[in-house]
Amino acid sequence: MTAPRLLSLLAAIAAALILAACGDDPPAPSTAASAGGFAEVQRQARGQTVRWWLFGGDEGVNRYVDDVVAPAARRLGVSLRRVPVADTADAVQRVVSERRAGRRTGGAVDLIWINGENFASGKRAGLWLEDWATRLPNARLLDPDDPSLREDFRVPVDGQESPWQRAAFVFAHDRARTPRPPRSFDELLAFARANPGRVTYPAPPDFTGSAFVRQVVAAKGADAAMRYLHELAPLLYRGGRSYPKSEAELTRLFGDGEIDLAMSYDAAFVRAAVRRGIVPRSARPFVLGDGTLQNVSFVAIPANAANAAGAQVVANLLLDPRLQAAKADPAGLGNPTVLQLDRLDPAQRSAFTRAARSPYLLDDLGEALPELAADEVAPLEQRWTREVLRGAGT
C-alpha cells in the first residue's frame, strides 16, 4: 500500500474510531457460535452468499478459491463469491464508510483477506467481529504456542481473525547462471560488489521491496540495516538510480537475465513463475542463513457483515486438512500449511506427504524472523526513502 493511500485510510479509520468512542455507532454484537455451538452457526449459514474481498492479482489463489474452496462451501449450503480488489484498503474503506454511515448490520463485506497494518487499525476502531476464530472446530488443529498465529505484525489476534496460509520471504537464482548464490546478507553485499548491476529489489512501499528492507532490519537491526542498504545502493541494477516498481518487474528482469536474483514473500513463487514461462526451468529458490522473514495470512469478518455465519463456515473450511493439503501440494499453490501436523490423524497427515516433491519448493525455510509491529512499517519505509533512496549520492 502506498504511503498516501495508507494515510488516507488511517484518517478514515480514525474518524470511525471517534464515532465509536462517542457512542454514535457502537459495535454490532458478536454472532460467533453461542450455546448452540458451531452446529448452530452452520444452520444459520445455509443459503447465505459470502462475499470474500481479497487481493485479485494472484491467479493461483484465485483458482484455489474458485476450484477448491467454493465447491467445499457449496456442499455445506454456502455460496462463496470472490470480490477481487487491487488493495486490501479497498475492502477496509468500504467497512469504514458503512460504519461512518451508521450501518451496523447488512454490510457488503463478509470476509477479508486482511494484512497486518489494516487489521491493527481496524481493531483499534472496533471494525472486526469478536470472539469467533478460536471457536472454529478446525482451530484445534493449530499450534496454540505458535506466536505467528497469536499475533499479526505484533498485534494480538484476540479471536478476531483466523489464519489460512503461511508466507516466507524466499529468493531465487538460476543455477545455470549463478550456481552458488549468496547465503547471507554479507555474502549478498560481496556478490553485488563482484557483480555490479546484477542485483536489485523493488522500491518500498512496494510490498516485496518493503519486505526485503524489513528482513535486513530483522537480521541486522534498524541502524545497521540502513547503513547496509546505503552501501548496497550504488552496486544495484542501474547503479541504484532507479528501482523496479513491483515484484512482477523484478521477476521479469530475472527471467530476462538482466539480474541474477529474484525475491518474493510467496514461498512458491519460483514454481509459479516457471509454470508461466516467466523464468527458466533452471531457476531455484533459496533462503539466507541470517533467517527468513515469515508471517501468516489471516481472514477477518467485519462486525457488520451481512453473512457472518457463512463467513465463519468458510474460515473453518480454510483450515480443513483436505483444503490445506490441496494448497500445500506443489501441483497447486505450494504454500506451507498453518496446521500443526502432529495434531492430524495419520490419514490426514498422509495427504501432506503424498504430493510429489518439487525442485521449486523448499523443504526448510530456515529460522523464522519475526515481523515488525504494524505501526513501525510505514516509518521504516519513510526512513528508507530519506537515507537510501535520496541519500544514494552521499
Confidence (pLDDT) at 391: 77
Rounded CA separation 125/92 (Å): 11
Per-residue confidence (pLDDT) for residue 169, from 0 to 100 = 96
Same domain for 158 and 181, yes or no, is no
Q: Are residues 194 and 55 part of one domain?
A: no
29 lies in the same domain as 116: yes
User: Which run of H or E residues covers position 258?
Assistant: none
Same domain, yes or no, for 77 and 212? Answer: no
Whether residue 200 sits in one domain with residue 123: no
Domain-located, residue 161: yes
- CA–CA separation, 318 and 132 (whole Å): 14
Mean per-residue pLDDT, 338-363:
85
**What does the pLDDT look like over 24-63, one tens digit per residue?**
444 444 444 444 699 999 999 999 999 999 999 888 899 9
Identity of residue 133: A
Residue 256 lies in a domain: yes
Residue 178 maps to a domain:
yes
Q: Are residues 161 and 174 in the same domain?
A: no
Q: Rounded distance, CA 193 to CA 195, Å? A: 6
Residue 72 within a domain: yes
- Residue carrying the nine cell digits 459495535: 27
Q: Please check whether residues 177 and 312 belong to one and the same domain.
A: no
Q: What is the pTM of this model?
A: 0.81
Cα distances from 162 to residues 108, 168, 225, 311, 317, in angstroms, run 20, 18, 32, 11, 11
Same domain, 104 and 49: yes
CB 128 within 8 A of CB 119: yes
DSSP state, 293? E
- 357, exposed or middle or buried, with CB in 10 Å at 0-12, 13-18, 19+? exposed
8 Å CB contact between 42 and 315: no
**Cα–Cα nearest to 205, from 29, 378, 365:** 378
Which pLDDT band, with edges at 50, 70 and 90, does 393 fall under? Answer: low
User: Is 394 contained in some domain?
Assistant: no
For the chain, the maximum distance between any two Cα atoms, rounded to a whole number of angstroms, is 66
Cβ atoms < 10 Å from Cβ of 58: 16
24: buried, middle or exposed (CB in 10 Å: 19+, 13-18, 0-12)?
exposed
Q: Is residue 150 part of a domain?
A: yes
Residues 381 and 265 in one domain: yes
| Packing angle of the helix pair 222-232, 207-220 (nearest 10 deg) | 120
Point out which residues pair with 171 in neighbouring strands.
263, 286
Do 99 and 237 share a structural domain? no
- The amino acid at residue 246 is S
Q: Is the pLDDT of residue 334 over 90?
A: no
In a domain, 338, yes or no: yes
Strand 170-174 versus strand 261-264 pairing type:
antiparallel
The neighbour count for residue 331, using CB atoms within 10 Å, is: 11
How many residues are recorded in the chain? 394
CATH number reported for the structural domain that contains residue 42 in this entry: 3.40.190.10
Domain assignment present for 84: yes
C-alpha dihedral, 202 to 203 to 204 to 209, nearest 10°: 20
User: In degrees, to the nearest 5, what angle opens at C-alpha 87 toward C-alphas 81 and 89?
Assistant: 95
Both 282 and 213 in a single domain?
yes
- The angle formed by the CA atoms of residues 208, 188 and 243, to the nearest 5 degrees, is 40
pLDDT tens by residue, 164-222: 999 999 999 999 999 999 999 999 999 999 999 999 999 999 999 999 999 999 999 99
* Per-position DSSP letters for 49-63, written without gaps between them: EEEEEEE---HHHHH
Write the single-letter amino acid at 106. G
Tens digit of each residue's pLDDT (9 = 90 or more) over 82-134: 999 988 889 999 999 999 999 999 999 999 999 888 999 999 999 999 999 99
pLDDT at 194: 98
Per-residue pLDDT at 363: 84
| Strand-pair partners of 112 | 53, 300
Q: Count structural domains, the chain.
A: 2
- Asked if residue 174 lies in contact with residue 260, where contact means CB atoms within 8 angstroms, the answer is yes
- On whether both 273 and 381 belong to a single domain, the answer is yes
Cα 98 from chain centre? 25
Q: Are 125 and 96 in contact (CB under 8 A)?
A: yes
Residue 249: domain span = 170-286+370-389
22 pLDDT tier (thresholds 50, 70, 90): very low
